[in-house]
Amino acid sequence: MVSAVSVLTTLVANVSEPMQDDFYLGSTFVQPFTTGGAASLTTLQIASNSGWSASDSPTVSLLDSGRNLVASFVYSAKIGEVVNYNVSSYALQAASTYFIEVAGGTGYLNVTTSPIQTGLSGWTIGDVSYRGVDSSASTPSSQILQFSLSGQVPEPATGSLLVVGFGFFALARRFKRS
């Protein structure tokens, strides 16, 4: 069996956009994003105004479109004011909406109002909603957490070469029978 080659890439990001404000982590934040193509999510980076350590890190989860828990992120490292979380390679479906939920911990999360996002075609980041410590209702905002998602995507050239190769073998087999 031949396995497809995957390449690590930024799926969607806005972490380099200017910070507009920051939110205290005492609230729960839910950040939606929509996938373009299928991918295997491996890393989430979150921009923080004050940063945090592994001991005061918030709980970070991946939720599906029904807001059911599908994966949890594990704190791995802080680079400057960007905090890395590793995922054990969770498969994201194409053309689907997922949510990143950030709850608890101490410190501040950066938000931006900039609509500029980088990454793969069709991948988008929506507006964050948040719920305060004493509230059960979520409040929508016109702001976006500054974050980045990275992962593995199948390399298109490899897939094309495999199709051409298998087609060649099928054609050769057909002529061999004649």
Q: How far is Cα 16 from Cα 83, in angstroms, rounded to an integer?
A: 13
Residue 109 lies in a domain: yes
161: in domain = no
Is position 110 within any domain?
A: yes
Evaluate whether residue 145 is within a structural domain.
yes
Q: Which of 14-28, 94-108, 157-171 has the highest mean pLDDT?
A: 94-108
CATH code of residue 123: 2.60.120
Query: pLDDT tens across 3-19, in order?
Result: 456 788 999 999 888 88
Burial of 156 (0-12, 13-18, 19+ CB in 10 A): exposed
Nearest to 147 by CA among 106, 100, 103, 104: 100
**Percent with pLDDT over 90 in the chain:** 29
Note whether residue 175 is domain-resident.
Answer: no
Domain membership of residue 15 (yes or no) is: yes
Structural domain of 116 = 8-153
32 DSSP β-pair partners? 99
**What would the pLDDT profile of 90-102 be if each residue is shown by its tens digit?**
899 999 999 999 8
Work out how many domains the chain is built from and give that number: 1
Residues 6+ apart with CB under 8 A from 42: 8, 86, 87, 89, 150, 151, 152
Q: What is the pLDDT of residues 71-130, one digit of tens each?
A: 888 787 777 778 888 887 889 999 999 999 988 877 788 888 888 999 999 999 988 887
Judge whether 2 lies within some domain: no
Question: Is residue 134 one of the residues assigned to a domain?
Answer: yes
Q: Residue 26's pLDDT is what?
A: 72
Q: Is the pLDDT of residue 1 over 60?
A: no
